Structure 1
């Protein structure tokens, strides 16, 4: 006569529990690998002809269906294995077998079906994802009807609470993935801060607008189109800029843009065909030399504006608001500087540095310095949602135009106004509050 430990039912049940635990481990590891794998790395492998990587890219396209199928399969095998274990232990140990089965199955599931497979999967997610993608794709097809019903129920419940899911939403964000990788690389010392800033600057162009980096109209060097051509020529030659806006009557009325080379060519032709005397340049019609001004809205994203510059083969645009009023100007160089940093040449005026650290740990900051540039140089994280410049941030937080000597504390920093001209804050002393406490 066979003992309970040796009969066929015992061994079949034990084998079934073991098989279910292995399946649970497969589902857990697959979920971790497919959600943690870098799509960029998978795409690189797929481009090299790796079929498993191509399959992994396909199954992760619909993240909701993927997660639904894996969770359904994982829960079914876990519940079934726990039920079989309870039946087996109850048969062996009576009523006390329920508690014993719970303890044993919890330990087995935790170690062999959760921690072990997930640890292995996270150590090399792209390789594991490539290996499990095809079986998971079969699982998704088999469980598609059930998963569809579950998705409908879940979306209906979320809809009742006012949340609508996006059917095309992916679990992966390329920008966030790259930004996270750069942050980790910088903290570990494998990526230079300058390289990180350049890459993040390029990625961030689509999230920023022309208004944020344009030169304000008060800082634009302009030329009166009705001035004497000889005076205009002298002003163009004295300017460090190659392109200058022309206005008539008032500065808001921009009628053209003069390029230094075009003007010099026109003067050269005028002298050759005329009497050859420089005094006769006063008869030159400057408007015939000027280019038509190119106006852009202040809300245009920087990446879109850069494409427009390249498409139009121009580097210079005047920025207007929704009412058509002049707000400032923008050049292609301004956009490139958001990626590579400040670009200067031998003709640029030597301006005073906008950020000066002091021996006491303070920073003397030009009020016109943008918050983004300050964050970039200091690795701070001052918000730029409500203002573009440091002076604008202080005014926004103070809800007034501060007087010289006033001190404010917000966002973890101490701000002291040390210079003001009219209604403009021109110099601010900034210091992190943590350094004051230290």
Structure 2
């Protein structure tokens, strides 16, 4: 090497530094690839993604060939720069050359290329596969030997060097974070819908049902004139049919079928006509998770479910519309939704809230965190805290919120003003 001209040595050193930068950037770029985007590109038959996916199937081999190449070029670069240093500065040139090479390698062959690769992994990794794939084949014997020793040590530490046990599956909470961080890639409305779908497993039918005291249905023991008036004036498409008590639901009448017997004179219509045109009721437990109930509605071809507790007592009714609104938000504007607002902004940090409003709806609309693991409505929350119906208006503080009861009935609290202490 002493006979080689300095110009040739400098050229060789420059080439080795470029190769070192290539291996450094390749390592960072390949390992920084978004695995889910990579799978998407592979499905679209992106050639660079396909090559990268093949290499990443065995990360131990990929790292082996990259590090072998990187260490070889760095060692050769060290030898060449030592020769250059000795020729130019004598014995002191060894220290000078080592110091300068360390700085050059760090800046031009490590930090800079790795930073660029971390910022633009696909632009670095996909072209690099043109070299890495044949290089792995060429250096496979050396990679196999080195991986044999390193994989043995990895297994002693209780890990799988092939990466087959790690898995790339996302936990639902991690998937929520991915959706949240999607930014402009997913419109806000679509983000909300995706997050609501993920949240279905956290809620049950009990959380969305219409309470039994608010169910509008047909009592067959009522006068037929009153029944027909209800059928003609109702805003609902389906009405539960029961005998005397809501716990005795015997069917569900669809208004489209009701038109078949409403064509005749009222005095000719009998209870038998209603029974002939109603369908069998569909009962579901109140503890059924919403994502399961959505599939059950589809499987059973039903739109209305009667919700029962563990003793078979009717607790309420749930509809497919109620469930879908948990995903897409309120979209019905007909009279069946009621004419009064459940939550009214008083513009001073306080909200006037109907006491039958569910805690989940309040949290969704106001971004609060009222407890949802106990009572389902703020009326129930107040009852649980006060342990009785107060004689008159009163106030209390609970879970970081201030409650002021504004209207109290004989059997329940009807409305209250609520404010978040964190916002005040």
Category of TM-score, reference length = shorter chain: 0.7 to 0.9
The residue that corresponds to 1:329 in the other structure is 317
Partner of 2:168: 170
CA distance in 2, matches of 1:31, 1:354: 51
Aligned CA distance change for structure 1 residues 8 and 99 (closer, same or farther; 3 Å): closer
Structure 1 Cα separation of the partners of residues 383 and 99 of structure 2:
60
CA distance in 2, matches of 1:414, 1:305: 33
TM value normalised by structure 2:
0.72
Q: For 1:14-413, what aligned pairs fall within 5 Å after superposition? A: 19-20=19-20, 22-32=22-32, 34=33, 36=34, 38-39=36-37, 43=40, 45-57=41-53, 66=59, 68=60, 105=102, 107=103, 110-112=106-108, 114-132=110-128, 149=152, 152-155=155-158, 167=165, 169-170=167-168, 176=174, 180-183=178-181, 185=183, 193-268=188-263, 271=264, 277-282=265-270, 284-348=272-336, 350-378=338-366, 380=367, 382=369, 386-387=373-374, 389=376, 391=378, 394=381, 404-408=393-397, 410=399, 413=400
Note the alpha carbon deviations across 1:97-152, whole angstroms, 9 max, x for none: 789958964x5565445543343234444444443457667859956756754553
Contact 2:21 2:110 in 1 (8 A): no
List per-residue Cα deviations over 1:239-288 (Å, max 9, x = no partner): 322212222353223221122232331343xx4xxxxx532324635333
CA-atom RMSD in angstroms: 4.8
Distance 2:126 2:172 in 1: 19
Gaps of 5+ in 1: 158-164, 272-276
Deviations 1:69-122 (A, max 9, x none): 5566666677777877888779969899789958964x5565445543343234
Structure 1 contact 224–247 (Cα < 8 Å) conserved: yes
Q: Tell me, which stretches of 5 or more residues in structure 2 are unaligned?
A: none
C-alpha contact (below 8 Å) 1:262/1:289 kept by paired residues = yes
CA–CA separation in structure 1 for the residues paired with 2:374 and 2:360: 10
**In structure 1, distance between residues paired with 2:17 and 2:247:** 81
2:50 is paired with a residue of what secondary structure?
A: helix
Contact 1:409 1:415 in 2 (8 A): yes
The higher radius of gyration belongs to 2
Cα shift at 1:345:
3.9
TM-score, normalization by structure 1: 0.70
Does residue 414 of structure 1 match 2:410? no
Query: SS of the residue aligned with 1:343?
Result: coil
Change (3 A) 1:172 1:145: farther
Give the length in aligned residue pairs. Answer: 407
Aligned partners of 2:25 and 2:113 also within 8 Å: yes
More off after superposition, 422-431 vs 322-331? 422-431
State the distance in 2 between where 1:204 and 1:137 align: 43
